[in-house]
Amino acid sequence: DTGVSQDPRHKITKRGQNVTFRCDPISEHNRLYWYRQTLGQGPEFLTYFQNEAQLEKSRLLSDRFSAERPKGSFSTLEIQRTEQGDSAMYLCASSLEGARGYTFGSGTRLTVV
């Protein structure tokens, strides 16, 4: 078990382009979370999956954002028509149901130019 993996580590994209990030949680973890962290701030909750079901989305997750976890294993976060305000670190975390606290990945740093 290598922990929570996120790919890519860094992404630079031009405004208006679409980007997709991937998260591979710890294999036995059935819960998966996405957070966004902007410079100088703590992480902010975006969305949460239990198995393949997306159970809650933050108001931060505009229509340009979509997240999937098709087989209850890895998850993808897609941002369409990126804007400069989307520049941030996107963090994925996973846990077992009922666990108190979770394990974060190293994040994907997105820069929109």
The single-letter code of the amino acid at 41 is Q
Residue 85 phi, psi (nearest 5)? -70, -10
Q: What is the CA radius of gyration of the chain?
A: 13
Q: Please identify which residue in 4, 26, 79, 112 interacts with other proteins, judged by CB under 8 A.
A: 4
Rounded to the nearest angstrom, the gap between the alpha carbon of residue 84 and the centroid of all alpha carbons in its chain is 18
Q: Please identify which residue in 26, 88, 105, 110 interacts with other proteins, judged by CB under 8 A.
A: 105
**Closest separation in Å from C-beta 50 to other proteins:** 7
Per CB under 8 A, does 31 bind other proteins? yes
Contact 35, 89 (CB under 8 A): no
Structural tokens at position 44: 């902010």
Per CB under 8 A, does 87 bind other proteins? no
**Closest separation in Å from C-beta 81 to other proteins:** 27
Identify the DSSP state of 75. Answer: E
x/- binding map, residues 40-79, to other proteins, per CB under 8 A? Answer: xxxxxx--x-x----xx-----------------------
58: left (phi over 0), alpha (psi -120 to 50) or beta: beta
Binding region for other proteins (CB under 8 A): 4, 6, 31, 33, 40-45, 48, 50, 55-56, 91, 95, 97, 99-107, 109
